[in-house]
Structure 1
Amino acid sequence: MSQRTLYASGAPWEATVGYSRAVRVGNVIEVSGTVAVDEYGVLIGEGDLYLQTEFILRKIEAVLLQAGAELRHVVRTRMFVTDISRWEEAGRAHGALFGDIRPCTTMVEVSRLIGEGQLIEIEATAVVD
């Protein structure tokens, strides 16, 4: 069995809920749902879907780097938005970071996210070559 490595953000709810920021098993890295909240718990980009998406993808990039990967290793993203009619804003931000990488992706509308003002949550899967 491949070694399992857990990556934490330090958020207090990780232990309560029983999850990790990211998990690496072998050459696969799964990144948990990520929202546009900084290390101080402050929402970034209130009302701005593009900015929230960009911030989230940079957070995902940071944990991937910790786990020995880069954005180029991402093979799948999943985007959960609170207003699908604004899909182009999230899509443009996603395309700005993944334009040539072009991972598989899914975007679905959800009724709401866990924090007030959060417009999008993103998960990612990376495979390190």
Structure 2
Amino acid sequence: MQFTTVLIASFAALAMAIPTKDSSDKATPTKLPEPEFSILPIETPKDAPLIDLWQDEDFLGFKFTGFSTAGTCENLHGTGFNNNVSSGKSRPGFRCTVWNKKDCFGPAFSFNEQGIDDLPSWIDNKASSWKCVKN
């Protein structure tokens, strides 16, 4: 019985110690932070990775990752991949084309993100330039 009395007295003292909300207190609205992602398409930044090219078929051997702005022609001269490409893939949302001459001139072959695991013989190991555009 004494325990019950002490327990009730303790809860009563605790209840009186809990602060009550003053009616003069106004809630300050808080702004939620902006999300760090967007579901809207984002423009491709300058010099984004757009294409992967491999020296061997089936996406094997040394790999070249080409950085550029979408729609800009790039030459392979000086990369170790000029006339040395057998398979390739574009980045998601892009279609890439390789040409057998510099400055995106001459016969060309295009592929998407699924890529081409073995370039046709007329362009295999003959690519000299590339360009990627948005799908």
Please, what TM-score do these two structures have when normalized by structure 1?
0.28
- Structure having the higher helix fraction is 1
Name whichever structure is richer in strand by fraction.
2
**TM value normalised by structure 2:** 0.27
Q: Computing the radius of gyration over CA atoms, which structure comes out larger, 1 or 2? A: 2
